[in-house]
Every structure is written in structure tokens, then in C-alpha cells.
């Protein structure tokens, strides 16, 4: 929360045109001034709200099939996948994204939410949104245990944010096929970032929804949190490298629409270098 406040104050700091060249010390010296001018914050808030309203909640990234949203601040990227029979949301941002998630669930008629793993920045929005809009949640067995019992240290090791228990309606596991109609997602268990992390692979379209296992541009998920394992992550990246991936839709940072396999191969090479 403190960090959020800091970011908000920093935004305000930039708004009032104090030189951005100032040192951090200089900025902190202005903190009191910023508190004094807090009366202009509502104006800034109103303008931010107007900006948000102009922005579509989800951006279409594959014609009529895949939309991407959230992804700013602490929120992970969320993906909406629309088949002919079912529409699923992959991940849901933090608790701060609850209203956006509710809007997505109702606007797109989402039939299930699939969680790639149980960290707050992926599950918080769903945990709260389903209190008012009932949509089944699917996750792996290992993550289900953490979410149903609300293992706060696991879900949010940094701030210990509390969320309502998430009942997992379907435990998905390696090899399960999620048939959405014209789109079939294969569940790949990819431990490393967490032991129960999964990816979703669409073989005919060569899409990979990779959660925090692998990101574009040679990056990959951290392995120092609860149940993380560097050797397992390397094995998972090796395994993903064997799949033909055109579009890579990761849990953070940018998605790539073509040449996903090249990004994964680079991540695998980097992980082998950096994680040992
Ligand atoms: Zn994570």
C-alpha cells in the first residue's frame, strides 16, 4: 500500500511540473508540499477516471477470439478467449481489478475463469468478482488447495492481502482438453514459478497462455517464492520450447503475436544461464 501511495504521490509530483531531474532526496523534501496541495488530488482523480472510461477494458488481439486487458500496476494480464460454445477468462488481476473483472464477466458472458496459478495478482479480481457474479473457477489441484483454504502467505507473500476463499469448481491437470468450440486448449503443467502453475496451449492455432512461467523477450517467472523451483522452471521452459508457439500470451509484460517460440527459446537459454 505504501508503494501505491508513493506511486500516486510520484504521479502528482510529475503533474505539478516539479523538475523530474531532481534527486530522490529532493523529491522526498517535497513530500510535505505535496500533502499541502492534496486539495487538487480530486481533480487529478477525476481526470484519471475519465481517461480510464475512454479506455476499453479489453483490447482485441486475435480477431473475434482473444482479448487482452488489465496488466497495469500490480495486475497481471488477463485474457478473454471466446470459442463458439464457451468463453473463458484466463487470470483476473488483483483485488483492485474487481470492478473491471465484473464488467468483463457480464459484458462477454464468461462461462469459466481459469487461473494459471494462485498469486494475488492473478486471482484477487476473481475472488471478489464472483461474490456477485457467479462464474465457475478452474485451477490445478495444487493451487486449488491454497485458494480454497486462503493460504495468505502463499497468495500474497508481500502484503498478506486477505481474499475470500475461492472454491475451485474444476481441478484441471496435465493433458486435460478445454473445449471451447473451435478452440481447444490443452493444459500443460509447468511447475517452477509455483508447483501448481499451468499453461494453456492451443495446438492448431499455436497459442500459448503462459501465466508467470515464461514471458516475451527472454524473460521468465521468479522462482524464489513459496513452492518455486529453479530446476523445475528450467525443465518447464525446456518442455515449452518443444511446442510450436506463434502467439505468446504471458501473465506480465507484452504479448507477441508471431514467433512466440523464439521468445521461449531465449527464455530457456537465459534461465539456464541465470538460475544456476
Ligand atoms: Zn505469480
The Cβ of residue 22 has, within 10 Å, a number of other Cβ atoms equal to: 13
pLDDT at 55 over 60: no
Span from the CA of 117 to the centroid of ligand 1 (angstroms): 7
Cα(4)–Cα(63) distance, rounded to whole angstroms? 35
Cβ–Cβ under 8 Å, residues 57 and 104: yes
Cα(195)–Cα(174) distance, rounded to whole angstroms? 13
pTM (whole model) above 0.85: no
pLDDT classification of 73: cutoffs 50, 70, 90: confident
Which residue range(s) make up the domain with 74?
58-274
**pLDDT at residue 222, rounded to an integer:** 95
| Total number of domains constituting the chain | 1
pLDDT classification of 57: cutoffs 50, 70, 90: confident
Q: Is residue 160 part of a domain?
A: yes
Report the CATH number that the domain containing residue 150 is assigned in CATH. 3.60.15.10
Cβ–Cβ under 8 Å, residues 67 and 59: yes
Span from the CA of 21 to the centroid of ligand 1 (angstroms): 34
**pLDDT at residue 56, rounded to an integer:** 58
* Mean pLDDT score of the chain: 84
Q: Is residue 229 part of a domain?
A: yes
Q: Is residue 48 part of a domain?
A: no
Instruction: Determine which of 44-53, 189-198, 216-225 has the lowest per-residue pLDDT on average.
Output: 44-53
Span from the CA of 198 to the centroid of ligand 1 (angstroms): 11
Q: What is the pLDDT of residues 21-45, one digit of tens each?
A: 333 333 333 332 333 223 323 333 4
Q: Is residue 157 part of a domain?
A: yes
Span from the CA of 80 to the centroid of ligand 1 (angstroms): 19
Q: Is residue 7 part of a domain?
A: no
pLDDT at 2 over 80: no
Angle ∠(195,198,199) on CA atoms, nearest 5: 145
Amino acid at each position: 500500500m505504501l508503494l501505491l501511495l508513493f506511486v500516486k504521490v510520484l504521479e502528482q509530483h510529475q503533474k505539478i511540473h516539479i523538475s523530474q531531474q531532481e534527486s530522490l532526496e529532493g523529491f522526498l523534501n517535497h513530500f510535505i508540499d505535496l500533502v499541502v496541495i492534496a486539495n487538487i488530488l480530486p481533480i487529478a482523480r477525476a481526470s484519471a477516471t475519465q481517461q480510464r472510461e475512454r479506455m476499453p477494458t479489453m483490447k482485441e488481439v486475435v480477431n473475434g477470439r482473444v482479448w487482452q486487458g488489465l496488466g497495469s500496476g500490480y495486475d497481471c494480464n488477463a485474457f478473454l478467449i471466446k470459442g463458439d460454445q464457451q468463453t473463458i477468462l484466463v487470470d483476473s488481476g488483483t483485488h483492485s481489478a474487481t470492478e473491471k473483472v465484473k464488467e468483463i464477466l457480464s459484458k462477454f458472458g464468461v462461462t469459466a475463469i481459469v487461473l494459471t496459478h494462485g498469486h494475488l495478482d492473478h486471482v484477487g479480481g476473481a475472488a471478489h468478482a464472483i461474490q456477485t457474479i457467479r462464474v465457475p473457477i478452474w485451477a490445478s489441484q495444487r493451487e486449488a488447495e491454497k485458494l480454497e483454504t486462503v493460504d495468505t502467505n502463499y497468495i500474497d507473500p508481500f502484503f498478506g492481502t486477505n481474499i475470500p476463499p475461492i472454491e475451485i469448481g474444476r481441478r484441471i491437470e496435465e493433458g486435460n482438453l478445454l473445449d471451447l468450440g473451435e478452440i481447444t486448449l490443452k493444459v500443460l503443467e509447468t511447475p517452477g514459478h509455483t508447483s501448481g502453475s499451468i499453461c494453456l496451449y492451443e495446438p492448431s492455432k499455436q497459442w500459448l497462455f503462459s501465466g508467470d512461467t515464461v514471458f516475451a523477450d527472454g524473460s521468465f517467472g521468479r522462482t524464489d517464492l513459496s513452492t518455486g523451483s529453479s530446476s523445475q522452471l528450467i525443465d518447464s521452459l525446456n518442455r515449452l520450447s518443444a511446442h510450436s508457439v506463434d502467439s505468446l500470451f504471458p501473465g506480465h509484460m507484452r504479448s507477441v503475436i508471431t514467433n512466440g517460440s523464439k521468445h521461449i527459446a531465449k527464455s530457456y537459454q537465459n534461465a539456464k544461464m541465470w538460475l544456476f
